[in-house]
Chains A and B, each alone.
Chain A
Amino acid sequence: MNRWRDALRSTPMRLTLRLVVLFLLVGSVSFLVTWWLANEALLSATEIVLEQEIEELSASGDPEIIARAVGDGAEQADPEHQILRYDGPGGPVGNYLGPLPGEKLRQADLHDKGQDIDGSYILLSERIGEALLTVGQDTEAFDDLREVFINVLLFTLLPTAGLLLAGGMMIGLRSARRLTAIEDTLARLTSGDLTARLPPTPGPPDDLSRVGAGIDRLAAAQEASVAALKQVSTDIAHDLRTPIQRLALVLDQGAADLPDAPAQEVFNRASAEIQHISTTFDALLRIAQIEGSGPGQNFAPVDLGQLARDIAELYDPAAQESGHQIWLQVSGKTIVQGDRTLLGQAIVNLLENALRHSAPGTVTLAVDGQTLSVGDHGPGIPEAEREAVLRRLYRLDRSRNTPGNGLGLSLVAAIVRRHGAELILTDNHPGLLATIRFSATDIRKGVGDREAGSAST
């Protein structure tokens, strides 16, 4: 699950993991040292006991008395816990007569089936004259000590590490949730929804909530400036359009009032110029609006193939008049979530560009899967300028004298961006191939409220 993976990768979880590893390392080392020290203390205590035993047994110094004392002691002693042996002149006496490894104090594994000896013992041997007196004790005390230490280890160190890990995971999950919320908010802000804000987090403020508050402040500032910009463009739109409107009406009236044709022609030309001004003005405003707005509220499923078919049909006679032929290729059914009017505008702009800038011949309009493309066999756009033509009012040198305002492609680019799609300009060998590629997730995604632009008179 993503949530757990995100939590595992979160900063608190990473810090916790490091802390746990460090804790286990330090804990284990100190544990081992303590155990070693305790073990040493126990060993020296055992040695003292064994030495006393040897002293008692060998107090007489007479080998025979020693042998007898050892023999008596061995009879009473439980060989599982205590070993007594005397290698005197009369041969070995004791409860263990098997081979004795080494000398002095040592730990050794002894086996003697007959005497029920099978295990580890601490042995101390001492020479008394020619003879060798050996006493031993089982290692039960050491086993107990080890067990205690292992228990302590199991019941303190490991649970603590486990608790730390669980705590880290919880904090990690929590911070992952908060980071996801931050990411979601940033994604919404990036996609143009400037009203997006972080959900409030419970508890006292921390570093994350400080970052969050910063993001919220940034978003609020951005929203305010966009709102101000919108207000300004609305004001400009109103204040500029009103006089343009007056002028248009004056010219209309003038043309109607004038009796002679040549003067009317002048007025009509002036009207056409006004129309051009307002078209350019509209296109600029629209680009600004499209770029400044979030995902469309009026997005609805649009049949791209049908739209292309309609537009190809609409342009067919005009294209034929200019010696062009529109070759329509629609394969399969492509439904995209979008604004029909805007998408139509984009297709029309691409098509009009193709018809305007290419010599008589074939212009291709194709819809295939997630792409819509318009290809011509005109002069194309030099590779170095393909980015630039998407900028507002940019015109190639050679097209300065052809009609157009240098906004067609930038409007297409803005529309394409609003639809989360991509506009790709490539070489059509020869000519320009403009492709709009919609993202797979946009195809058939969601249900819109109504199809934009379907309301006609």
Chain B
Amino acid sequence: MRILIVEDDQTTADYIARGLREEGHVPQICGNGRDGLVTAQSADFDVLVVDRMLPDLDGLSLIRTLRSAKNLTPAIFLTAMGGIDDRIEGLNAGADDYLVKPFAFGELSARIQALGRRPQMRDEETVLMAGDLRMDLIRRRVTRGDTEIELLPREFALLECLLRRKGRVQTRTMLLEAVWDLNFDPQTNVVESHVSRLRAKIDKPFATELIRTIRGAGYRIDG
């Protein structure tokens, strides 16, 4: 993926770029808002990573300008302000996601993945599959091979979320937002507990494990 990083802190930008390059992406760095805007408009990027506080033109205005020019490249805000209304302000301006500094690289990488590639499974898809796992969204049935698996509603939602973004890492906070509609960092391993319950039902009784734990990042189901 071609990723534009608009970040005034050179060190942070370099580390993000290096990490993304190692994952096979093609990152490009802009040090201020005006350059960022010009670059974002001049080339076709898959994802924009934009710091909220930038010299010359702040991130919020940058995204607003892009959006009003009908540029819909997915964008993630990075911010040093973990303010209560900042998140909503950022999303209202047209950003697709929002990360508060300091973040772990795994979190950013997972979110870039989630935004960048168009979902392989479209929303109208009614049957999701991974390996021998089959999830029928209309009849709300989950089977692995010939075995039917009973899931609680929330386990069903969790599995659906992982399956819809098959092959991509879902971090704990992403799952918390998508499945529970809550956005804060719990101090307890709440998501882990739910995932391990789900695993007990769809992985434990079978030979191959579908849900993989990605250290320091989150979970992934490979297709």
- Give the interface of A toward B (CB within 8 A): 234, 237-238, 241-242, 244-250, 252-253, 255-256, 268, 271, 274-275, 278-279, 282, 285-286, 289-290, 293, 296-298, 310-311, 313-315, 317-318, 320-321, 339, 341-342, 344-345, 348, 352, 355-356, 403-404, 450, 452-457
Contacts and interface: CB of A to CB of B under 8 A. Distances in A.
Q: Shortest 6 CB-CB distances between A and B: which pairs?
A: A317-B193, A249-B15, A241-B80, A456-B177, A245-B102, A318-B193
B84 A342 contact: yes
5 contacts: A290-B84, A314-B190, A321-B193, A341-B184, A344-B182
Given A245-B12, A452-B85, 12 more contacts: A245-B80, A247-B102, A248-B103, A256-B19, A275-B102, A278-B102, A282-B100, A310-B180, A314-B182, A317-B196, A339-B84, A457-B97
B85 A298 contact: yes
B53 A457 contact: no
B38 interface: no
Contacts of B91: 455
Given A244-B102, A245-B12, A317-B193, A282 B82 contact: yes
Interface string B178-204: 101111111111101110110000000
B205 interface: no
A453 B190 contact: no
A237 B102 contact: no
A242 B80 contact: yes
Contacts of A244: 101-102
Contacts of B12: 242, 245-246, 249
A299 B26 CA distance: 41
Contact of A457 (B11, B18, B102, B174): B174
A219 to B, nearest CB: 22
B88 interface: yes
Given A268-B216, A318-B193, A237 B105 contact: no
Interface footprint category on B: 35 or more
B84 A245 contact: no
Contacts of B188: 315, 318, 352, 355-356
B180 A271 contact: no
A256 B215 CA distance: 10
Interface string B6-28: 00010110011011001000000
A444 B182 CA distance: 22
Contacts of A317: 190, 193-194, 196-197
A78 B104 CA distance: 123
B101 A245 contact: yes
B104 A252 contact: yes
A182 B30 CA distance: 51
A311 B22 CA distance: 38
A294 B81 CA distance: 18
